[in-house]
Amino acid sequence: MSADGPAGADGVPPVDWARIDPAARPDTQRVVVTGMGMVSSLGPDVETTFERAARAESGIRRLTRFDPTGLPCDIGGEIDHDALDPDEPEDAVGGSAWHLLRTAARQAGAYHLAQPITDRRRVAVVMGGHGCTPLRRNYLHAAHYVDEQGDTHLEALARDMRYDRHQGLRRSPDTAPLLLARQIDARGPVLPIVSACAAGTQAIGEGLRLIRDDRADLVVVGGAEPLLYYTYVVGFALLGALTRRYASPETASRPFDRKRSGFVIAEGAGVLVLERLDGAKARGREVLGEVLGYGDSADAFRITDPHPQGRGAFAAIRGAMRDAAVHAEDIGYVNAHGTSTAMNDPIESAALERALGEVAATVPVSSNKSMLGHAIGAAGAIEAILTFEGMRRGVVLPTRNLDAPDRKCRLDYVPHEARNHEHAIALSNSFGFGGQNGCLCLGRGS
């Protein structure tokens, strides 16, 4: 693929990317943000999270939800669910995924911002995330009813009241987005995206498309991920993706640093309300930002590793810039995927160097995961919100724990301290396990 589009090597004209031209796009085609809400390891809302991140504080600590003794990684970005929404505790069907999503959606104003839309089929929900974690006790209970031949004794299992009747629904990625759609009376498309670490970014991108394609007037987008339960943590630990070497929880996530050794898993939720600009104006809404463009791609390289030259990452970044019709010199900041893994950080840096060309070294790049940890399907939404908030405040968040950059990481990573920096256009990257990539081009929306 060339830098400017598919090469058309099959002898037919290449994809007509140029016909998507935001410069000529009317208000009916411009998509703005009118609500934002968040729950993260740094705090129960956007303001707290941003301000603590701006002070380079860490939300990583030793896990408390279960005893992690013996695990190769015993830390994470945990959320105190009990402190979130005491009037609406977790329920059996939606579980903690729904609890996190509902809390962030309320903050974002999703419940009242959608009310004036009279045709409820024009209100949609697009949400990244993978549902609730399968619980160890459910596996154990089911395992008791599998005999040596592998047959399951279902009726006996069904009589065992210890087996959780609702765990199937809780695990389904559909459940929390559908519950939200019912509560806000959104009768348009409900799209649960399950693209691993790219899901939150892809959800925002798909929401952008729904509005641009005139399939919806208002879309509640984002991601929610309640990850810090035993099964998930053990799974990621066995994969070898989590950091195993750290002096303290707070210093464990160190994107772009020479001593990084893996990511720190976290939970969280981020929700944004997207509307057409003309509709937002008509309803007198405050515009918090604009989604200018979206690019996505597949690495199609190796299931456990990103492409070594960042081919898929580059394609997604350039796709977002092309969709937004912006040039490298327009980019004021990049919110990096920045996982703190050995492979991601230099490859993402190389993809950014290639996509931004000569100006790459002058564009601030930072990783929120250095402070929050990695919330997988919610990460893209959380990071997009922090990017919008940074543009609104003229602040670039720092990369914590970056003491000595990897020699293959040659960009300006804003180490240790936030920076005052007015900027109007930013990129936000997400690259998933399995090779799915997404990039958003975001605007201040002034």
Partner 1 sequence: MTEPLATVLASAFHANGEGAPAWRDVPADWGPLLAARGRTPDVDDEPPGEDDPALRVLGPHGRQLGAVLGAVHEAGGAATLDRDAVGLFVATDVVDPEPDDILPALRASADKEGGFDLTRFFAGGFRSLHPLWPLAQLNNVAVGQVAIDLAVRGENAVFGSEADAGVRALLEAAWSVQEGHARAALVGATAPRAGAFAEARAYVEGWPADRPLGQGACAVLLGTSPAPRPRGAVSILAGTTGHGTGDDATAWEDVIEHALSSAGGPTPVVVHAPGEPALTEALGALGMASIERRDLEAGVGHLGPASALAVLAVLDARPGNEPAGAHLLLVRGPNGGRGALVLEVA
Residues assigned a catalytic role: 197, 337, 374
With 0-12 CB in 10 A as exposed, 13-18 as middle and 19+ as buried, what is 16?
exposed
Of 145, 110, 132, nearest to 35 by C-alpha is 110
Shortest Cβ 53–partner 1 spacing (Å): 27
Give the span between the Cα atoms of 268 and 246, in whole angstroms.
Answer: 23
When the beta carbons of 363 and 440 are compared against partner 1, the nearer one is 440
When the beta carbons of 98 and 413 are compared against partner 1, the nearer one is 98
Q: Which stretch binds partner 1 (CB under 8 A): 46-54, 220-228, 416-424, 427-435?
A: 427-435
Phi then psi for residue 240, to 5 deg, are 80, 15
Give the span between the Cα atoms of 323 and 439, in whole angstroms.
Answer: 11
Q: What would the two tokens of residue 376 be?
A: 């997988």
Determine which residue in the list 26, 303, 358, 407 makes contact with partner 1, applying CB under 8 A.
303
CB hemisphere CA count around 283 (13 angstroms): 20
Shortest Cβ 288–partner 1 spacing (Å): 25
| Residue type at 161 in one-letter notation | M
When the beta carbons of 309 and 362 are compared against partner 1, the nearer one is 309
Give the span between the Cα atoms of 154 and 291, in whole angstroms.
Answer: 49
Of 224, 217, 293, 220, nearest to 35 by C-alpha is 220
Site for partner 1 in 98-127 (CB under 8 A): 121
The answer to whether residue 206 forms part of the interface with partner 1 (CB under 8 A) is: yes
Site for partner 1 in 122-161 (CB under 8 A): 130-131, 136, 139-140, 142-146, 150-152, 154-155, 157-158
Site for partner 1 in 16-55 (CB under 8 A): 16-17, 19
Site for partner 1 in 219-278 (CB under 8 A): 234-236, 238-240
The answer to whether residue 163 forms part of the interface with partner 1 (CB under 8 A) is: yes
Site for partner 1 in 61-90 (CB under 8 A): 67, 69-71
Shortest Cβ 20–partner 1 spacing (Å): 8
Site for partner 1 in 180-199 (CB under 8 A): 181-182, 187-196
**Helix ranges restricted to H, 276-435:** 277-282, 311-324, 344-356, 369-372, 379-393
Determine which residue in the list 247, 300, 407, 446 makes contact with partner 1, applying CB under 8 A.
300
Q: What is the DSSP string of 50-81?
A: HHHHHTT----EE--SS--TT-S--EEB---G
The answer to whether residue 432 forms part of the interface with partner 1 (CB under 8 A) is: yes
When the beta carbons of 371 and 375 are compared against partner 1, the nearer one is 375
Shortest Cβ 69–partner 1 spacing (Å): 7
